[in-house]
Amino acid sequence: MAKTSKKPTKIAKETAAQPAAGKPALLSGGNPQIAKAYGDTPVQAYIAAMPGWKSDVGRRLDALITRTVPGVYKAVKWNSPFYGIEGQGWFLGIHCFTRYVKVAFFRGTSLQPVPPGQSKQKEVRYLDIHEDDQLDEAQFAAWVKQASQLPGERM
């Protein structure tokens, strides 16, 4: 049986996900409530709605990921931006919490060096970024590059 492309559906979902005139609601921890959608538009809406200093972190992370993995595939699912390789799955997700921004590397235990934050899930590792943290952009980009070359997570 031949596979059919889901691109038209995803493009339609991206268009439908454009934010209304008001800002999105913030869920617990200040995480923006953004409808599930594929593409850069919903990810940018999420980043714009991140409260305070977290929005700057979101813009930096998005720029680093996009620069490191040209053509990266983006979506918002479960009120969190996801980054992946189309047809191969997701390698990274971002989520706002009250005091930090959490980056989840879905195959984090395969990265060198392994990101510092442990998870209850066997392969997932986290990087928590607090307001006054100095992000090591070179290390972050190295993790992103490595993660993008591993089998992605299907969600």
Summarize pLDDT for 89-135 with one digit per residue, the tens.
999 999 999 999 999 999 999 999 999 999 999 999 999 999 999 99
* Residue 12 within any structural domain of the chain: no
* Residue 43 within any structural domain of the chain: yes
Q: Using the structure block, give the residue that is written with the tokens 């980054």.
A: 83
* Residue 19 within any structural domain of the chain: no
In degrees and rounded to multiples of 5, residue 26 shows phi and psi of -100, 130
Q: Into how many domains does the chain fold?
A: 1
CATH number at 104 reads: 3.90.1150.200
* Residue 18 within any structural domain of the chain: no
* Residue 119 within any structural domain of the chain: yes
- Domain carrying residue 112: 27-148
* Residue 138 within any structural domain of the chain: yes
> How many CA atoms lie within 13 Å of 96's alpha carbon, on the beta-carbon side?
26
Whole-model pTM above 0.85?
A: no
